[in-house]
Structure 1
Amino acid sequence: MTNLTGAFTADNLSYLFGGFMTTIGVSLFSIVISLVVGSIIGILLFEKIPYFSSLLGTLNNIVRNLPLLLIIFFSYFAFPELGIRLPVFWSTVCALSFFEASMIAEIVRGGLKAVDVGQFEGAASVGMTRAQALWHIVLPQAYQKMIPPLISQLISLVKDTSLASGIVLADLTYRGQMVYAQDSRYIVPILLLLTFGYFLFNHALSKLADYCQKRLA
């Protein structure tokens, strides 16, 4: 039998809320960093700089095909052996940003390729450099096309934060496990609450994407 009264005490809810805020914090930092880094990598891949873009593309493909959990373990357990010591929060942010940037880079590269090459030619005809054309004309059009896949990838990022419970990040998933470890009757209500928490955050991201897409249309 489930035990709603025991599972949803004020102390447990406060404890879980702290985990939810940690999940949001990790997600937001990772989203910003991965979007910036992934966009830069995507642009460099699109520009096809001799040798450099090919090497960068190879490295990016390697990262994309690694398990995220392995990258999380590496950032937390291997970095200290290399003299880099980070709190578990920032280890998680680094791992998620590193992995998601590789995914976003491919989305950005694909979005740029989807823009008609004539946009560059038209910009050049009015005296704009390639960099100016990319920044002022091509990128805005590309991002408008990229909003759905980008949001889908960022939602995956939010869900992937739960993997960091493996390095004892006190996020929503980890704290939920701690609560229902007290009593097996708490498992169902706590898991349902965790489900609602992740749904709430990801649904908000989806609505934000819809709003941005309408504004850019």
Structure 2
Amino acid sequence: MDQFFNISVIADNFTYFMIGRFPNGPLGGLGLTLYLASVSCVLSFFGGLILGLLSISRFPVVRYPAVAFINLVRGMPLLMVIFWMYFLLPALFGKVAESQTVIMALTLFTSAYMSRIVVAGIEGIPKGQTEAAISTGLKPWQAMLYIVLPQGLRNMIPSFVNQFVSLIKDTSLAFIVGVSELTHVGTQINNRTMAYPTEIFVFIALIYFIVCYAFTSLSRWLEQRLAWRKAI
């Protein structure tokens, strides 16, 4: 069996797969992958929320640029956005760490997609609630902030989790600019051993599957939970 699938290369480098050289060096591997995805997801939540609200603004001068920006980013491949950030940020702000450029690229890209989730969540709330809130004396922005948005955000949670799963997989593109996330670590180990590419990349695929399946299961549980609450 070892002739066809030698797991010793996995056992010998397991810690490196998980956290890179940390704590004696920079964080890498799965730890860095989850860090990139988590930070980008949090920033993308706020970015998507802002873009989503701007894209449904009553004022054309606000709505049209927001919609144009969303469509532009959604129409670009993520790899191109990463290259933009990798070359643009240092040109504007001087030396920027590669991991930070990737976080900005993932945030920008994911915010555009999350904005559509926000719009869908808001549009899913009956218009009568907004009208009823305004009739009580609230201004339109107050009705959105206090009545519509809290309900919409609750309905958006499963979609946000699904987007986070997609974000975890998207971090694999960070290896193209030298960020030592999971895929890059696997490539480094493969280049060093030059003997076990199947074992290394099957193991990496298994890690991605386990992590993504866990969050996908969480998303399904949240959907069932929200559906149960609505039925009460």
- Within 1, Cα distance between the matches of 2:80 and 2:61? 29
Of stretches 153-162 and 188-197 in structure 1, the one that deviates more from structure 2 is 188-197
Residue 175 (structure 1) aligned with residue 185 (structure 2): yes
Structure 1 gap ranges (5+)? none
Cα pair 1:111 1:146 within 8 Å, conserved = yes
The match for 1:159 is 169
- Within 2, Cα distance between the matches of 1:113 and 1:90? 34
Matched-pair identity in %: 30
- Within 1, Cα distance between the matches of 2:190 and 2:172? 16
The match for 1:83 is 93
- Within 2, Cα distance between the matches of 1:205 and 1:5? 27
Deviations 1:122-168 (A, max 9, x none): 11222333223212221232223333433322211110100010001
Deviations 1:86-111 (A, max 9, x none): 11111110000011001111121122
The structure-2 alpha-carbon separation of the partners of 1:87 and 1:66, relative to structure 1 and needing over 3 Å to count, comes to same
The match for 1:104 is 114
- Within 2, Cα distance between the matches of 1:29 and 1:209? 19
Aligned counterparts, 1:20-99, within 5 A: 20-99=30-109
TM-score (norm 1): 0.90
- Within 1, Cα distance between the matches of 2:58 and 2:17? 47
The match for 1:9 is 11
- Which residue identity is paired with 2:180? A
After superposition, the CA RMSD in angstroms is 2.0
- Within 2, Cα distance between the matches of 1:206 and 1:130? 36
- Which residue identity is paired with 1:85? K
- Which residue identity is paired with 1:113? E
- Which residue identity is paired with 2:188? M
The match for 1:113 is 123
The match for 1:125 is 135
Deviations 1:150-189 (A, max 9, x none): 3322211110100010001100000011112233442222
TM-score (norm 2): 0.85
Of stretches 33-42 and 104-113 in structure 1, the one that deviates more from structure 2 is 104-113
Q: CA deviation at 1:211?
A: 4.5
- Within 2, Cα distance between the matches of 1:5 and 1:57? 50
- Within 2, Cα distance between the matches of 1:85 and 1:53? 34
- Within 2, Cα distance between the matches of 1:60 and 1:97? 13
- Which residue identity is paired with 1:65? G
Residue 190 (structure 1) aligned with residue 200 (structure 2): yes
Q: CA deviation at 1:212?
A: 4.0
Q: CA deviation at 1:4?
A: 2.1
Cα pair 2:162 2:215 within 8 Å, conserved = no
Q: CA deviation at 1:207?
A: 3.5
Task: Name the SS of the counterpart of 2:147 in structure 1.
Answer: helix
Which structure is richer in relative contact order (CA contacts within 8 A, separation 6 or more)?
Answer: 1
